[in-house]
Structure 1
Amino acid sequence: MENTMEKQPVNLNTQDAEMEIDLLEIFYLLKSKWKEIFLALLVGALIFGAYHTFLVKPSYQADASIYITNTESALSFSDLQLSSALTDDYANIIKSRTVLNRVIEELDLNLDYKQLAKLVAVSNPDSTHIVDIKVTCDDPEMSRNITNALLNISVSQIYQIIGSGEPTVIDYSVAEAVQDVTPSLFKYLAIGGFLGACVACAIFILQMLMDGTMKTEEDIDKYLHLPVLATVPYYNEKKGK
């Protein structure tokens, strides 16, 4: 038992040393293949850059906001608490099928309510009484028109359903406030280059792990644990001799 206990730490240290050597092999492998990895980076960036240039459509975002509270001049603390608790309900009403279909009919959009819902984002910033409505599409004028139509129809619908007070409009969407939110070319180039380099590294590492041939004296000592008695140098005979 004592001999067995004495051998266990030695085996663990040996395994750790072999793991360190494997990591070093991977490092030196990737270092020796830096040209191929850099080329893969350029190819990946070029592919994603071409995709951005020719296939990615521009995106424009228009926004509007409403304030949720009673219309009475005197507001109690309980009224403010109720307005805050109902903010999520108001957001669900804004994106309801009824409201979206009315927007489609008013603007004569070539969309169904599911497609329109994907263009609309409703949020409540920092748990306030404000509800923000954002519409993103490939036409700046259309995004603004949809936002304003959605704002007007949802305000009326909220009042019909809740009945405690009509929400107050803070901001309508205007042309100068519409933002271009198209992802930048640099972002696509960076993502493409990173993915290209990662794919190249993965291929080289996989090839190394699947290669079971012995190439050096160190490989024989490491994997077979046998002494090397002699080596034969490689002779590269030149053509014509």
Structure 2
Amino acid sequence: MDQKDYNKEFEVDLSELFMVILGKFWVIVMFGIVFMLVSFLVSKYAFVPEFESSTKIYVLNKQNNESGLTYGDLQTGTQLTKDYMTLVTSRLVIEQVIAELGLELSNEELRNSVTVTNPMDTRILEIAVRNKDPFIAKKAADALRKDSEEHITHVMDIKRINLVEEANIPENPVTPNISLNIALGGVLGIVIASFLILLRFFMDDTIKTPEDVEKYLGLSVLSTIPLQSDMNVTNKKNKSTNGRVKRERRRRACGDN
């Protein structure tokens, strides 16, 4: 088989697969709708929504307190940003926040709910806390900022840390993302339905039409014979019709007499 014949056969197979998918389009749509509905119900009632509150601080370590801000200060602050991020979630700070707020959380649970990020090319640290209660999320973020400021100034031997933004009270939950889950559920349903339809098509190796005989066996079909069940149905219809005709003739004959 040369390359031209191979490409032709490949294109025919793709068109056949497309027709198979198109023929079961309603099944694919139903799968997508069902999975979208399931995703909505699971996201709405199975997951507990979480709120996120964030605060920002500005950290700069000045090497010379008598002079103004120098380029060396900026470079040093950038290099020490990762150290500051580590100190924010240190064990001492986490334990102090839990004790101050009376949280019923372990150190690991609170640490896992905290995210510390540093926007690129800045010395600003953003501290975000997630919790089921938006007010607790705000209080924890503020307490974490305050306690980490004291810890950083003591460990890094700097005078102070400037506040950029206080923590906010979140209005909308960040998880679960219902819209995203519904979209992903619909896509998953479509993919699963398409996979099952194609799997059934590939596993079905029966010959159904005269065209299949010519295509897969390379034989010419001279004629076709109808199935016996179809013949029986036709015979039953003919017998039923003949019976009605005979009864009608007898009725007319009796009427004439």
Q: Does 1:51 align with 2:42?
A: yes
Q: Does 1:207 align with 2:203?
A: no
Q: Does 1:17 align with 2:8?
A: yes
2:68 aligned counterpart, secondary structure: coil
Percent identical among aligned pairs is 32
Other-structure match for 1:169: 163
**Range 187-196 or range 25-34, more displaced:** 187-196
Other-structure match for 1:191: 184
Measured in 2, the distance between the counterparts of 1:179 and 1:123 equals 21
The one of 227, 233, 239 equivalent to 2:220 is 227
Deviation at 1:63, TM superposition (A): 0.7
Other-structure match for 2:32: 41
Deviation at 1:179, TM superposition (A): 4.9
Other-structure match for 2:123: 129
Measured in 1, the distance between the counterparts of 2:95 and 2:219 equals 79
Deviation at 1:187, TM superposition (A): 2.5
What is the CA deviation profile of residues 80-124 of structure 1, one whole-angstrom value per residue up to 9, with x for unaligned ones? 110011111111111222322222222222222221122111111
The answer to whether the 8 A contact 1:59-1:138 is kept is yes
Other-structure match for 2:107: 113
Other-structure match for 2:21: 30
Larger radius of gyration: 2
After superposition, the CA RMSD in angstroms is 2.2
Q: Quickly say closer, same or farther: Cα 1:233–1:15, change in 2 above 3 A.
A: farther
Unaligned runs of 5+ in 1: 1-9
**Range 188-197 or range 214-223, more displaced:** 214-223
Measured in 2, the distance between the counterparts of 1:58 and 1:238 equals 62
Deviation at 1:212, TM superposition (A): 1.3
Q: Does 1:181 align with 2:174?
A: yes
The answer to whether the 8 A contact 1:63-1:178 is kept is no
The answer to whether the 8 A contact 1:103-1:150 is kept is yes
Q: Does 1:97 align with 2:84?
A: no
What is the CA deviation profile of residues 149-179 of structure 1, one whole-angstrom value per residue up to 9, with x for unaligned ones? 110111111112211343212222143x665
Measured in 2, the distance between the counterparts of 1:125 and 1:38 equals 43
The answer to whether the 8 A contact 2:61-2:76 is kept is no
Measured in 2, the distance between the counterparts of 1:87 and 1:178 equals 30
Measured in 2, the distance between the counterparts of 1:173 and 1:119 equals 15
Deviation at 1:214, TM superposition (A): 1.5
The answer to whether the 8 A contact 1:40-1:196 is kept is yes
Measured in 1, the distance between the counterparts of 2:123 and 2:92 equals 23
Measured in 2, the distance between the counterparts of 1:133 and 1:154 equals 10
Deviation at 1:56, TM superposition (A): 2.1
Other-structure match for 1:159: 153
1:159 aligned counterpart, secondary structure: helix
Unaligned runs of 5+ in 2: 238-257
Deviation at 1:238, TM superposition (A): 4.3
